[in-house]
Amino acid sequence: MDKPHPQLLSFVRGRIGLFGGSFDPIHLGHLRKAEDAQQTLGLRRVLLVPTYVSPYKPNGPRASGEHRFHMVKLAVAGYEGLEASDVELRRDTVSYTVDTVEELTAAVGRPVLLVGADTYPTLPTWRWYQDLLRQADIVVFTRLGYDPPPPPEVFPAPTAWSNFGRGLWTHEEGLLAFLSTEDMEVSSTDVRRRAAARGPLDGLVTPEVADYIKRRHLYEATRSG
């Protein structure tokens, strides 16, 4: 991961990171990003939050929330500074990030929202995204060589943006930053496909998650999660 802007560190050091997703299942790429963010940004810890049902994935996850949360707990057990959170699963309703941010802010203070480069351009379609800009600082994981568009193109908000350079933008209520990192060539789709064929999951997920998937027969073609 690139060395972050010193001003970014002064904004986020010691805070709580929020990294959400279906985690269907959680894989080593997720863990690398979360660990990189925690260590590089000096975050107190990073919460990995499985969604209940994402409004942007209408078909829903293959595995149940209980299974996905348990796999996240198993995956982060060996990582100091990473923690599984069931904050969205406990709501038992469609997961909106702005609601999660509001709940976490009340409990632990203003969070740092961690999102992928593929998710970043969709943020203006999220529910109450301008409230989200005011309530959380956003750090985007980008691939090496990725050239992100400036915030005004992605966030058509009335707030004025200031460019600090090196991938850091600020506005009067928060910030948007970009961090380049080497991306692992692994996806949850890869894991599900391998699991459906009852193949080995080495190099895709942690051994504990691989064992859980095997014992629970998750993602096998003849079974449901």
Dump pLDDT digits (tens) for 174-209: 899 998 877 788 999 999 999 999 999 999 999 999
Q: Nearest Cα to 75, choosing from 217, 216, 223, 207?
A: 207
The model's pTM is 0.91
Q: Nearest Cα to 114, choosing from 43, 185, 214, 207?
A: 43
Where exactly are the structural domains of the chain? 6-187
Contact between residue 78 and residue 54 where contact means Cβ atoms under 8 Å apart? no
Using alpha carbons only, give the angle 162, 156, 100 rounded to the nearest 5 degrees: 90
Distance CA 28, CA 68 (A): 14
Query: Is 6-187 a CATH 3.30.70.100 domain?
Result: no
Distances (CA, A) of 33 to 18, 101, 189: 12, 20, 18
Distance CA 214, CA 195 (A): 8
Q: In sequence order, which residues have a C-beta less than 8 Å from that of residue 73 and are 6 or more positions away? A: 84
Q: What is the pLDDT of residues 139-165, one digit of tens each?
A: 998 877 677 777 777 777 656 788 888
28-41 vs 65-76: helix crossing angle, rounded to 10: 50
